A and B are shown apart, each in its own frame.
Chain A
Amino acid sequence: MMPWEKESARLHLLSYLAGVLYHLGIFSGFAVLFAKVVDLKMPAWGQIIFRFGLGLGLLSGLGLLLKRILMPNVRRLSRPDDFGANVFVDVFLAAALAASLDARAVTFLLGYSIFLFLYIPAGKIRHCVFFFYSRVLFGWFFGRRGVLPPRRERS
């Protein structure tokens, strides 16, 4: 089911886009981390794309954190882990952005990444693994029943 088909995405377009950018930023962060670990030299245009992705991702992450703090229903739905996971990832994005701009920040990025990778299985961030299974189950459920993709008949 594509995003524009989803009422929740249309009603919360800004949050939805922020979520997409946030996760693109995270993938950019992993790319920067990988490049630093294997000492890969990125072309200038690649660095610009990843910095752009990291910057937008960081802004989106902070925006989503503000939303979680400021919107009463979302705040009341949340647990400390939800705020914590957001902050931990935002720090990672900031560290990756800093490391891509200044070599002095690489050590912090590497150290912080160890902490983050240790935290992932313990907290909310592990949804990154379950997301893919969940979407497969979603497709299997509605696909098998013939609900999605929609088949329209004009007769």
Chain B
Amino acid sequence: MSPQPPSPGPLPERLARLGPEDFKAAVRRLAKALDGPSVVHLESCVRCGLCAESCHYFLDDRDLKSIPAYKLNLIIRVFKKYFSRGGRLAPGWTGAKNFNRQEAGEWVDSLFGRCTLCGRCVLNCTMGINIPALVRKARGVLASLGLVPDGLSSTVEMARDTGNNMGISKEDWVETVAWLEDELRADLRDPGARLPLDLKGADILYAVNPREPKFYPLTLTAVGKIFQAAKESWTLSSSHFDVTNYAYFTGDDELAGLLASRLKKAMEELKAKTLVLAECGHGFSSNRWEAPEWLSQKIGYEVKSILTVTAEYIRRGRIRLDPQRNLETVTLHDPCQLVRMGGIVEDQRTILRHVVKNFVEMTPNREKNICCGGGGGQLSMTEFASRRKSAGRVKSEQIARTKAQVVAAPCHNCLDQLAELNRHYKLGVKVKSVIELAADALVMSGI
């Protein structure tokens, strides 16, 4: 199953064209998607409503539809109708509902438009229900109906068709790397400095977020400086370099598996030992945790975040850093997919404590941090942009309370959202990646 264009055109028109047979097929798709753990979670919600304030959408609009339990119960009521005896016999009593056009429309609005899959509700759920996992499965059902919002759908299609979500051609990528290598040599005043491409047998294959070569090329030279300083054996791949996987957000596991398989292929071709992932929340979660599930096989190599690798360099004394080079007060945003759903909690802190003079935490932080609002594919879904910015108010207030001058975030979706919140709420901060700050603090012979 891949993002459908069975009925092209704007989403409401696509929805209007769907008939009873489509919805029957969607219910069969839901049945296929629901495994044992999903059923346990669907049967566990008691609708206590204690999860409400864990969601940044609810904190912003106080709307019933923003309560995680409401979103979950959109799925539960369809599940009840088709897969539970109680729901079939007494739909009114159990709240069971048919899956039809109206219901699908509500799924799109709430499950795509009011959820970033941040997982904060899971930690705060009395029952421990994995709501984002179920939202992903429901999004997969919507994808089977061709109901993925246009921007997100086209991002996934771009990745499927061109090999990366920005549609960067292989020639452009190779040229960009060559240009950035020149920049790196000039910066380090070292003609031997390299951004190696297709180096077979390197210890590390580094995968980038395509936004880096496209819009933030200096992030790539920053990583190059760190690897150079650590005397690392590493390489980039000319064929498969995209760390992102937007099919994670559409719930299309088959396509997500295809996208994840490309980095696996590059690892095998180049015979690298460790796959190191650029600063990308969902890219980490996808490649580290979900890929083995999607590919139904164990991955025969280590998968690490660049944060973990850099923190290891610091702990082992492989790089020298001078925090005096970053004198402004810096706070850290914890990307949900990297921290709460990914387990990379302390490495970014280890780095920041060594590279900036004044580091202040947000409250709450780490796995309890509040989502910035840019995850879950929200940045690609223009339909929900105003809601996304409004819900970002919670994060902007959290940032303002720190009185920091710089907000560091190790995730490109977060960086984009934070930059937008910075403009929208006039926060007056600089938004930087953690690795950029680390590169600025590097002490090397040339710099």
Contact = CB atoms under 8 A, between A and B. Distances in A.
Contact of B125 (A8, A72, A73, A74): A8
B52 interface: yes
At the interface, is chain A mostly helix, strand, loop or mixed? helix
B346 A151 contact: yes
Interface string A83-102: 01000000000000000000
A127 B124 contact: no
Contact of B37 (A16, A82, A137, A148): A137
A39 interface: no
Interface string A133-145: 1110111011001
Contacts of B222: none
A152 to B, nearest CB: 7
B44 interface: yes
B127 A131 contact: yes
B218 to A, nearest CB: 27
A142 to B, nearest CB: 8
Contacts of B47: 74, 77-79, 82
Contacts of A80: 92-95
Interface stretch (B2-10, B105-113, B364-372, B431-439): B364-372
Interface stretch (A29-37, A40-48, A107-115, A118-126): A118-126
A103 interface: no
B94 A76 contact: no
Contacts, number: 129
B367 A7 contact: no
Given A19-B48, A76-B64, A150 B37 contact: no
Interface residues of A, number: 46
Nearest to B66: A73
Interface string B8-46: 000000000000000000000000000001001101111
Given A77-B70, A133-B40, A138 B345 contact: no
Contacts of A123: 86, 93-94
At the interface, is chain B mostly helix, strand, loop or mixed? helix
B367 A148 contact: yes
Contacts of B342: 145, 147
Task: Name the residue in A82, A135, A142, A146 with the highest tally of chain B Cβ atoms < 10 Å from its Cβ.
Answer: A142
Contacts of A82: 46-47
Contacts of B184: none
B64 A134 contact: no
A98 to B, nearest CB: 26
A130 interface: yes
Given A1-B123, A138-B130, A77 B346 contact: no
B40 A153 contact: no
A9 B342 CA distance: 24
Contacts of A122: 85-86
Given A8-B54, A150-B367, A135 B127 contact: yes
A104 interface: no
Interface string B269-281: 0000000000000
Interface of B: 37, 40-41, 43-54, 64, 67, 69-70, 73, 85-86, 92-95, 122-130, 289, 315, 339-343, 345-346, 349-350, 353, 364, 366-368
17 contacts: A8-B126, A9-B50, A73-B49, A77-B47, A79-B47, A79-B95, A81-B94, A126-B43, A134-B41, A134-B129, A142-B123, A145-B289, A145-B343, A147-B341, A148-B367, A151-B346, A155-B350
